[in-house]
A and B are shown apart, each in its own frame.
Chain A
Amino acid sequence: MTVGLFIPCYVDQFYPGAAIATLQLLEKLGVTVVYPPNQTCCGQPMANSGFEHLSGGCNRLFIDNFSGFDYIVSPSGSCVLHIREHLHDDKRPELAKEVAHQVWELTSFLTDVLKVESLPARFPHKVGVHQSCHGQRGLHLSSMTELVAPDFSKPGSLLAMVKDLELVELDRKDECCGFGGTFCVVEEAVSAKMGKDRVADHLKHGAEFITGADMSCLMHMEGILKRQGSKVKVLHIAEILNSEG
């Protein structure tokens, strides 16, 4: 099985640790991973701002870089959701559809494709999980408090395999952090307030680390934690799942 590794642009530039952990974790699980070097971005920053018509270049690049892999895996629910829902190419419509169907978010790939049942990881800390909305409500990585449906959580099940890790309960287990792409600057006041409230929930319950399947939400919460001078750190879930046993 050969997997194409899709690393979102801001993770590539600012959080290489999350990307390295994703690569190493997949390799540890016996997957052959290839990183196409000419990849850039899924196009979501334009599309969510109302400029989807400007994302054609990103779409073409994505298809050029990622067609032909058995699977395409990415450590970001949000970017994966965008590709799944919006990847298109007027000149290659069928190929675009095919590529869009092969894109997987990391935790669902581990759970549903690799069917991982144990991990050699140890992380002796109290951890709060942030359910990023696009992964949760868009890709159904976990059950949602609004719906009357059975409980499940793919990131939660994976974290439960990590030795000595203690998950903290939150008052609001799936409230948005307020990042929202360009929302974070266009609606700065509400965005920052949402972030502060989300962080406070984790702090109140004694989390030492906040983790999740989307680095963008974590980047936003990290910005708030640092401004508050907090010692609590954010880590992408791949970094915890890849920790030394």
Chain B
Amino acid sequence: MEVATKDHAELAEIFNKDEERVDWHDETLWWIRAKRDKSVHQLPEWEALREAASNIKHNVLSDLNNYLQQFEAAAQANGIIVHWAANDIEHNEIVHRLLVENKVTQMVKSKSMLTEECHLNDYLAKHGIEVIDSDLGERIVQLAGEAPSHIVLPCIHKKKEEIGDLFHMYLGTPSNMSDPQFLTETARGSLRETFLTRKVALTGVNFAIAETGEFVVCTNEGNADMGAHLADVHIACMGIEKLIPNREHLGIFLRLLTRSATGQPITTYSSHFKKPREGQQMHLVLVDNGRSIQLGREDFRNSLKCIRCGACMNTCPVYRRSGGHSYHTAVAGPIGSILAPNFDMRKYADLPFASTLCGSCTNVCPVKIDIHDQLYKWRQVLVKEGYAPTGKKIAMQVMAKTLSSPTLYHAAGKMGRLTIKYAPFAVSNKLNPWYKQREMPESPEQSFGEWYSKNRGKK
């Protein structure tokens, strides 16, 4: 994975060069947000469900070490082999070792954002192992040589005509095919052969239940099941925050997850994996990769409640108009912007600023993460840690000084108004980003303060 050299604002500006495409991207995601609204408004208990889920996750995070040990013991008793990975490198090494031990050079994978976070595909490719992504959207971005732009809808940035071109190039379909039914059938046919010939299948995990040692994978395509059921070895990878205490809690999360994600009442497949079938190996890799550091940051701890529904992306007016790739990280959008700085403050210092702090993300979050408040708090942390550009730092110091003195403020206000009025070229030019697509406000004869002292001051 290449290190991004452009920040969110620059990448978003490039995305916005094609306005028609921005409109299409925005409308597509807004349509999903509207579906979500329609679906949740059918449940009078919706807000109570969110509250319950948030509290359950709060409980898990406050006692994570014990829940993890309980889960490990229960999973082992079921015959699952449990592995612990402190970081992305350990995770990738564990998966690679299991492949080597089983003497395979090909693997089928169902959708897993954790493996995207760890850049598993690149790592395995370097070690001569071919990974085929079996989720349709992931398969499409894999063919295109891109990363997913959305955690639930990996190829939402691609138009069906572009997918038709990719399939023509890689899967041998006739050119200019863009019928979704035809393209899906083609992918299905090509993947069927993959499913039948791969000995190892890797899946993600949506929920892991501490009480029973089982884990649950939610998909709409059934590709995780197809992969896991046909393979001799099933490897499941999960972040340590995916736990819930008991099976009875699962219903709350399953009701919230897909309504939030796409507006469906539930995923087509909610598959429970508890123990390997006769002769099969089942491995579970528990990955920390910065999560325990985030757990230690009081202001940002709640971000670990995330169940990866993507609702905050669909509702985010900035995400819809800048595209997932502009966030240059595996998990884009508002949630990605509060998770990423935990990994690397320098690299992701721009992301908490890629928001108007409108708060819509917080309102749609099914586990009530205070996303926009955390964006605000990350801004404070990043500036204090020294990741603010020098120009901005100076501008802010000047502004703070001016606004801390009524005399300076009145003088500067007057000067600003006079400049706009008599020397508009000084502000209405290319150097002023405001002026690029917007006119400056008109300059009034007097400020309110001046009006007040003339009209009311002597009362």
Contact = CB atoms under 8 A, between A and B. Distances in A.
Mutual binders A and B? yes
Interface of A: 7, 9, 11-17, 19-20, 23, 35, 37-41, 43, 45-58, 60-61, 133-134, 137-138, 144-149, 172, 174-176, 178-181, 183-197, 219-220, 222-224, 226-227
Given A37-B452, A53-B384, A58-B404, A188 B436 contact: yes
A60 B406 CA distance: 12
B16 A189 contact: yes
A35 B40 contact: no
Interface in B435-459: 436-444, 446-449, 451-453, 456-457
A188 B432 CA distance: 10
A179 B358 CA distance: 10
Interface of B: 8-9, 12-13, 15-16, 19, 22, 26, 30, 37, 40-41, 43-44, 46-47, 315, 317-318, 321-322, 352-360, 362-364, 376, 379-380, 382-384, 388, 392-393, 396-397, 399-401, 403-406, 409, 413, 416-417, 433-434, 436-444, 446-449, 451-453, 456-457
A186 B15 CA distance: 16
A129 B13 CA distance: 29
A16 B451 contact: yes
Contact of A12 (B46, B401, B447): B447
A49 B448 contact: no
B359 A137 contact: yes
A144 B363 contact: yes
A56 B400 CA distance: 9
A189 B360 contact: no
**Does more than half of chain A's interface fall in helix, strand or loop, or is it mixed?**
helix
Given A183-B353, A187-B8, A190-B322, A137 B438 contact: no
B447 A13 contact: yes
26 contacts: A13-B444, A14-B443, A15-B441, A19-B451, A20-B448, A23-B456, A35-B449, A35-B456, A43-B403, A47-B376, A49-B392, A54-B400, A60-B404, A133-B357, A133-B359, A146-B315, A148-B43, A148-B47, A176-B358, A180-B356, A181-B356, A186-B9, A188-B436, A222-B439, A223-B438, A223-B439
Contacts of A15: 441, 444
A49 B379 contact: yes
A45 B400 CA distance: 9
Given A50-B388, A144-B363, A187-B318, A58 B400 contact: yes
Given A188-B13, A188-B437, A226-B439, A138 B359 contact: yes
Contact of A16 (B8, B13, B318, B447): B447
A57 B22 CA distance: 41
A238 B440 CA distance: 22
A39 B406 CA distance: 7
A188 B243 CA distance: 40
Contacts of A220: 438
